[in-house]
Amino acid sequence: MTPADTAHTGQGAAGRREAPGRAARADSRPGPWRRGLVLAASALLLGLVMLLHAKIPNRIGNLGSLVETFLPWFGLFVPVLLAGALWRRSASAAAALLLPVTVWLNLFGGLLGDKSRPGGDLTVAAHNVGAGNPDPAGAARALAASGADVLALVELTEQARGTYEKELAKAYPYHTVQGTVGLWSELPLSATRPVDIRTDYGPLADTKPADVKLAYNRALRTTVATKRGPLAVYVAHLGSARVNLTAGFWTDSRDRGAQALGEAVAAERNERVVLLGDLNGTTDDRAFAAVTSRLRSAQDVAGHGFGFSWPAGFPVVRIDQILVRGVKAESSWVLPATGSDHLPVAAGISW
């Protein structure tokens, strides 16, 4: 036997000795159903959080309301976990992802399509014009050009009020301002009064302009005389909601205002009601149960997408709302930016 033959034989023997070792190592690796168990557990936890969000307690820093405020964004964790499942080749993680996908689609899948319909008897709009808006005149002109028949503005400062009244006078011959909220209308208004929504600023008091902070009134109720009959319109700017190091997700003032607003709507005798304004919260938040149990969101029933309105530069939540009762929302949309940190919202309604 030549040296070459000996070397070849030796390599073959070594290969035969190594083959069982590789096979043993391959056999010791977990199968696809045993790999990625942490990813699978994370997917199940994500699904349970979305499914049982109403059960998350608010006792510690209003955690439940905080989760519900950003609930649609929990869907972004699904592709992240899916990428991890594919990387680990984990069948268990991929299967577990069926739970959060199903729950998210059940909660928000209906918002992905366009539910708007043509027509409508009246177009209403709402906008937090922003106390620090650098161009109130431009904002007023843009809103007047929106085609809204009824326009609600909140966070009106004493300095900017005259500008809005001047710029909107031609398009809207009727208007009322109560405190820092106002309503401009092409149609006559009557039975106007302030609505007490029990607002204070708590730990945020030092961040507000003096005229906004001292204005006791942040909500009103009026009647719009339409061709189809009287329409009760509420305009509201509920208290702020902020993440605070000491108070957690601070919503005390907002939550009291939501309860008071819900009581006012419950006592409203007119069967046709529209609520416009900045509620500083989403309709998924349990804090608005007193309101959402009596009114329906125009965006939810007749919008296209989520209708995020804040912050204007990169909207992540819909806190500017149009809610209705006794009338039908035909369409709902978000208007272009006006210099405020909020985007205006509008809806077409019919009888």
Tens of pLDDT, residues 164-200: 999 999 999 999 999 999 999 999 999 999 999 865 5
142's enclosing H/E stretch is: helix 136-144
Name the pTM for this structure: 0.86
- Buried/exposed code over 278-288 (b: 16+ C-beta within 10 A; e: otherwise): bbbbbbbbbbb
Q: What is the pLDDT of residue 9?
A: 54
Residues 6+ apart with CB under 8 A from 186: 149, 150, 171, 172, 173, 174
Tens of pLDDT, residues 213-241: 445 699 999 999 999 999 999 999 999 98
Q: What is the pLDDT of residue 1?
A: 55
How far is CA 14 from each of CA 2, 7, 9, 334, rounded to the nearest angstrom?
18, 10, 9, 72
Cβ–Cβ under 8 Å, residues 318 and 341: no
